[in-house]
Amino acid sequence: MALGLVTTVAIGALPVVRSYRFYGRADPMTHLGWATEMLAGRMEFGEVFYPGGHSTTALLTDAMGVPIERGMLLVAALYFAMYALFIPLIAKALSGNREMTVIAAFSGFMILPINQISNGLFFHTYSMAMWFFPVFLYALVKHIKSEREVDSITDLLLSDLAEGSVLDAVGAWNVLLAVLGVTLILIHPQVALNVIILLGTLVVLHAVVCKRLDLFVSDLRPVYGAFVFILVCWLVWIFQFDQVFSVGERVIVSTYEAILGTADAGESVEARYQSARSVEATLPELFVKLFLVPTVYIALGFSVVAYTLWHSFGDTDRRNISTDVDPLSRSVVTYFGYAGLVLGPFFIA
């Protein structure tokens, strides 16, 4: 597994290994210009909608004394390395099962999220936020599985504050979640929005569903504080940019036209179809090459979640069946299963 990790990171860091001056197309060139302006002091941190990667690059470049292009390659490779490392760590934190960890590791080594269409292995802010997401997910799993010796979160806060330990009252993983959430906002607010939807779903589950249904999720720690903090930070950050309102208006208009059937989506689809035909490729062939393996993984993941949810709603005898996975880990799967059902339509849209 270690060899696979090193090999995968080396593939993602090939531009660094081969000492390329720069690597990327379209958006990465724009980001290079912004990072250069930020390093020179001609662009402020708050002028960029997603300044996380650019500011990190400027800091790294200034500290190491390397060209800005080299710094961007190093930062992109660092984010990709975090993705490859934390995928198996999430599986280990979730189950503690070595076999599951190995399967998760080699699944991560396939780099399934990268399709070279809307993302890629270069300095691209959305891709980098996507690579950083497993770090947040790892902290989230560790937080909701952390032990809580009292039944009420209020009692927990009061008891810890009475002992004078603010960190224990809030929770170390909870604090880390907040920090990582703000980091995601600065890397790319769109990915941070997905995180907010995820946390919001978990909040609803913990506050409403687990009070009415005898599900495993009642044993998990809540994420109220992290959700509210990240949501407020996200709103404060995005509403200072005019482009948010223009993009929001275009989304609403496009959705309205799609519902009424007045959108020009047909022309766009036809143009892409003709582009594929020009290189003697068919749409089914492109789908198989780009999305078949991810689709298989999605189907397998959906099957596991559906099976877990079925057990959650089943009778007591089925719930108490002995398995290699502890009930708390099954609770997390149930948790994220519901969250996936909520997030699914957003990805389809």
- Written as six digits, the tokens of 220 are 């998990």
Task: Render 135-187 in DSSP notation, one character per residue.
Answer: HHHHHHHHHHHS---SS-HHHHHHHHHHTT-HHHHH-HHHHHHHHHHHHHHHH
| Same domain assignment for residues 65 and 127 | yes
- Nearest Cα neighbor of 220 from 341, 334, 92, 89 is 334
Structure confidence at residue 169 (pLDDT)? 57
Residues in the chain: 349
**Are 150 and 46 found together in one domain?**
yes
The answer on 164 and 270 residing in a single domain is no
Q: Is the pLDDT of residue 182 over 50?
A: yes
**163 Cβ contact list (under 8 Å, min separation 6):** none
Kindly state whether residues 253 and 109 are assigned to the same domain. Answer: no
**pLDDT tens, residue by residue, 257-304:** 666 655 555 555 555 556 666 666 666 777 777 778 878 887 887 777
Q: Are residues 215 and 98 in the same domain?
A: yes
Number of domains in the chain: 2
Give the pLDDT confidence of 134-153 residue by residue, as tens digits. 999 999 888 887 765 444 44
| Cβ contact 38:45 at 8 Å | yes
- Kindly report the backbone phi and psi dihedral angles of residue 282, in degrees, each rounded to the nearest multiple of 5, phi listed first: -105, 160
SS3 194: helix
| Exposure string over 311-341, b if 16+ CB within 10 A, otherwise e | bbeeeeeeeeeeeeeeeebbbbbbbbbbbbe
Higher pLDDT, 149 or 104: 104
**What's the one-letter identity of residue 164?**
G
- pLDDT bin (cut points 50, 70, 90) of residue 232 is very high
How far is C-alpha 56 from the geometric centre of its chain's CA atoms? 19
Q: What is the largest CA-CA distance in the chain?
A: 71
Instruction: Calculate the average pLDDT of the chain.
Output: 76
- Which DSSP letter does residue 47 get? G
Domain that holds residue 55: 2-240+282-348
Q: Do the Cβ atoms of 67 and 89 come closer than 8 Å? A: no
- pLDDT surpassing 50 at residue 326: yes
Distances (CA, A) of 138 to 172, 290, 296, 341: 13, 27, 23, 20
Which residue shows structure tokens 């400027």? 58
Does an H or E element contain 340, and which? helix 327-348
Predicted confidence (pLDDT) at residue 192 exceeds the cutoff of 60: yes
HSE-up of residue 178 (Cα within 13 Å, Cβ side): 13
Angstrom distance (rounded) from CA 35 to CA 30? 9
Q: So what's the pLDDT on residue 349?
A: 47
pLDDT for the residue numbered 345: 59
Residues 132 and 203 in one domain: yes
Do 116 and 247 have their domain in common?
A: no
- Does residue 152 sit in the same domain as residue 262? no
Are residues 92 and 156 both part of a single domain?
yes
Rounded to two decimals, the pTM is: 0.80
Q: Which DSSP symbol is given to 118?
A: S
Query: Are residues 125 and 253 located together in one domain of the fold?
Result: no
Q: Are 118 and 135 in contact (CB under 8 A)?
A: no
Q: Which of 277, 301, 330 is the last residue before a domain boundary?
A: 277
Q: What is the rounded distance in angstroms from the CA atom of residue 108 to the CA atom of residue 102? A: 10
Are 231 and 159 part of one and the same domain?
A: yes
Q: What is the mean pLDDT of residues 19-41?
A: 85
Query: Which of 37-59 are b and which e, b meaning 16 or more Cβ less than 10 Å from the residue's Cβ?
Result: bbbeeebeeeebbbbbbbebbbe
Do 130 and 252 lie in one domain? The reply is no
Beta strands in 2-158 (DSSP E): none
Is 161 or 92 the better-scoring residue by pLDDT? 92
